Amino acid sequence: MSKRIEVNDLNVYYGDFLAVEDVSMTIEARSVTALIGPSGCGKSTFLRTLNRMHEVIPGARVKGKAVMDGQNLYAADVDPVEVRRQVGMVFQRPNPFPTMSIAENVLAGVKLNNKRISKSDAEDLVEQSLSKANLWKEVKDRLARPGSSLSGGQQQRLCIARAIAVKPDVLLMDEPCSALDPISTLAIEDLMAELKDDYTIVVVTHNMQQAARVSDRTAFFNIAGTGKPGKLIEMDDTSTMFSSPSQQATEDYISGRFG
Ligand SMILES: Nc1ncnc2c1ncn2[C@@H]1O[C@H](COP(=O)(O)OP(=O)(O)O)[C@@H](O)[C@H]1O
Ligand SMILES: [Mg+2]
């Protein structure tokens, strides 16, 4: 559990369009890395390369390396399906399967991976995953109700439970709180702080306070103009990035002068 990722000279394309240029960064294990930057600079695109979701889009491709504990995720003999099990993802809008119960939602990823699982192991896994997602107490008496019967914040924690049920090493989160109210947002932030003991977490956020609150390291991406590729401008400890960044563009962005 919890692995470090070394990204090396990664270029990310949609067909001929270079969306993200030449990113190199180290994502540390057992920590939260925040990706910040103005809209369109390639944060989501970059994030999706870390579990090979990017290439699902027709014409989309990647050049360069992303090495997780010594294994290049883009090596020819690596199965992208297995990468997606090891590197889970949580999206902006909570997306539980609407026709499935709460318990079935937790098990959905495990079943997709064709794992056979006994009834009692399944029950244990449901409880374990929901407990880790800080949702168990709220739903333990209604596990058979539809996932869609939960509030937005609960649905997002259900999606986190579903993601961790397959025992990934890394969790990618793309603006996981931007559809949530402030209380639910704090619940997810608290959860991230707990989960980083076990997982490597990479979170995209447009909320500077959130990046400052939850992350250990922050990477600032920027874009020179429409049609230009997004680039990693700098990355450092979050406290350094927010107190004394080394690039003027970072300073301008975090102090709210643009973006
Ligand atoms: N499916 C897609 N096909 C083509 N271009 C895309 C696609 N998704 C995003 N892009 C382009 O890639 C660039 C980066 O987008 P994105 O990664 O969504 O930025 P961010 O998450 O930082 O707002 C933008 O120019 C965007 O229009
Ligand atoms: Mg995005």
Per-residue pLDDT tens for 39-58? 999 999 999 999 999 999 99
Taking the C-alpha atoms of residue 160 and residue 106, their distance in angstroms, rounded to an integer, is 9
pTM: 0.96
Q: Is residue 81 within 8 Å of 56, Cβ to Cβ?
A: no
Mean pLDDT calculated for residue range 47-74: 97
How remote is the CA of residue 233 from the centroid of ligand 1, in Å?
Answer: 18
Atom of ligand 1 nearest to the CA of 38: 22
Neighbouring CB atoms inside 10 A of 183's CB total 9
What pLDDT, on a 0 to 100 scale, did the predictor assign at position 111? 87
Mean pLDDT calculated for residue range 176-192: 96
- Which residue of 45, 46, 172, 175 sits with most ligand 1 atoms within 8 Å of its CB, as the best mutation to test the pocket? 45
Is 21 a residue whose pLDDT tops 70?
yes
Residue closest by Cα to atom 24 of ligand 1: 40
How remote is the CA of residue 39 from the centroid of ligand 2, in Å?
Answer: 7
Pocket of ligand 1 (CB under 6 A): 14, 19, 37, 39-45, 57, 230
The DSSP result for 71-95, as a single string, is EETTSTT--HHHHHHHEEEE-SS--
Is 259 a residue whose pLDDT tops 60?
no
Is 215 a residue whose pLDDT tops 60?
yes
What pLDDT, on a 0 to 100 scale, did the predictor assign at position 256? 85
Mean pLDDT calculated for residue range 77-88: 96
Per-position b or e across 75-101, b if 16+ CB within 10 A of its CB: eeeeeeeebbbbbbbbbbebebeeebb
Q: Return the domain boundaries, the chain.
A: 5-95+170-254
CATH architecture of 5-95+170-254: 3-Layer(aba) Sandwich (3.40)
Cα–Cα distances in angstroms (integers) from residue 144 to residues 96, 107, 178, 206, 241, in the given order:
14, 12, 28, 35, 45
Strand 170-174, strand 17-27: pairing: unpaired
Please give the share of the chain, as a percent, with pLDDT higher than 90: 95
pLDDT band at 33 (very low <50, low <70, confident <90, very high): very high
- C-alpha neighbours within 13 Å on the C-beta side of residue 11: 10
Token output for 27: 């994502």
- Which residue of 14, 21, 53, 175 sits with most ligand 1 atoms within 8 Å of its CB, as the best mutation to test the pocket? 14
The 10s digit of each residue's pLDDT in 97-124 is 999 999 999 999 998 876 788 999 999 9
What pLDDT, on a 0 to 100 scale, did the predictor assign at position 27? 98
